[in-house]
Amino acid sequence: MKEINFRTDILPLKDRLFKMSLRITQNNEEAEDIVQETLIRLWNERSKWQLISNIVSYSMTICRNLSLDYLRHKENQNITLNSSLHDCADSMPMPDEALQNDERQASVAKIINNLPEKQRTVVQLRDIEGMSYKEIASILEISESDVKVTLYRAREVLRKRLEIHKL
């Protein structure tokens, strides 16, 4: 088993952890705090690293659980979640094209954000993070077939809603 190094093996995961947490919490500041808490917990458990077979899945699981804990706490306070979007532009399109792209991205993000938490997380991990079914199953603590079914159902909802919006 490979020896795990915080700087080279765990710290580079922070962007992936942030994206997943943001997808769940829909709050930039909370996602940043959750990533920081995840990294602190991982550091504090460094004596157990040799027992962990997949540090990426382990890290993502901690981050997911902290994000869900945040949602439960927020729901208990009856506060509505604010949606937030991040868009990346590689080139400078014309202003009207940029507006259309922004509207399209906002619509897709809104549809994804309205999915049930499990579907939203599976879409995030598979389609955005590019993780394998096995890794996702490990993170969510479900079977690989359940991951596939959940992803299929989420994609069907997305497809139907995109057709309605003609995106």
27 CB contacts (<8 Å, ≥6 apart)?
A: 81, 82, 84
Output the average pLDDT for the chain.
82
Q: Which of 14-23, 56-65, 157-166 shows the lowest per-residue confidence on average (mean pLDDT)?
A: 157-166
Range of the domain at 143: 88-167
How do the residues of the chain divide into helix, strand and coil, expressed in percent and rounded to 5?
A: 75, 0, 25
Examine the fold and report which residue of 15, 50, 84 is the final residue of a domain before the chain moves on.
84
Closest by Cα among 69, 101, 66 to 85: 101
Q: Do the beta carbons of residue 81 and residue 25 sit within 8 Å?
A: yes
Residues 32 and 99 in one domain: no
- Give me 11's structure tokens: 């710290």
Mean pLDDT computed over 24-41:
92
Using pLDDT thresholds of 50, 70 and 90, give the confidence band for residue 62: very high
- Using the predicted structure, report yes or no on whether residue 59 has a pLDDT greater than 60: yes
Examine the fold and report which residue of 84, 100, 127 is the final residue of a domain before the chain moves on.
84
- Using the predicted structure, report yes or no on whether residue 129 has a pLDDT greater than 90: no
Examine the fold and report which residue of 84, 100, 117 is the final residue of a domain before the chain moves on.
84
